[in-house]
Amino acid sequence: MFNKLLLTILLIISTNAMAEWTLIEFNDETMVYADVKTKQKLGNKVKMWILYDFIHPKISAAENQPYLSLVTLDEYDCVNATKKLLVGSMYKENMQKGKNIGTITFKVNETIHEPIIPNTLEAASFEKACRKNN
């Protein structure tokens, strides 16, 4: 268990240190970026790192601290149009800067694939992950 946690933390640090964020969508509250170089396809599913950058601070439920960016590793089912959160890390500052105030890692069966709702920020990240020409 410890080795898996350590591997996840090292993956987050190394992946995010080299991330090349591309803006894919935004609204009045949030800008969403993808690191398309991290896209991994396995059958109908794709894993990709996503950065949510917030205009106004959010409050972490677990740590009860404000954060301005959230980096997630998401798994997309390109056939069934669903998304599953695998890892999430919250940062004090925008664009994954400042102190990491918390990281959540989910076991394989802890989360389920949620349907992608059209015309949402998640729909934009789904399109970026599942579109063949990225």
Chosen CATH of 2-130 out of 2.40.128, 1.10.10, 3.30.70, 3.40.630:
2.40.128
More confident call, 134 vs 49: 49
DSSP E strands, 1-132: 22-26, 30-42, 45-59, 66-77, 82-91, 100-105, 114-115
For 35-50, what is the mean pLDDT? 96
What six digits make up the tokens of 78? 């390109």
Phi, psi dihedrals of residue 24, rounded to the nearest 5°: -115, -25
Residue of higher predicted confidence among 42 and 9: 42
End-to-end CA separation in angstroms for the chain: 35
Per residue in 72-112, pLDDT (tens digit) is 999 999 999 999 999 999 999 999 999 999 998 887 677 78
> What pLDDT band is residue 14 in, cutting at 50, 70 and 90?
very low
Determine the Cα–Cα distance for residues 87 and 8; give it in Å rounded to an integer.
8
Whether the model pTM is above 0.95: no
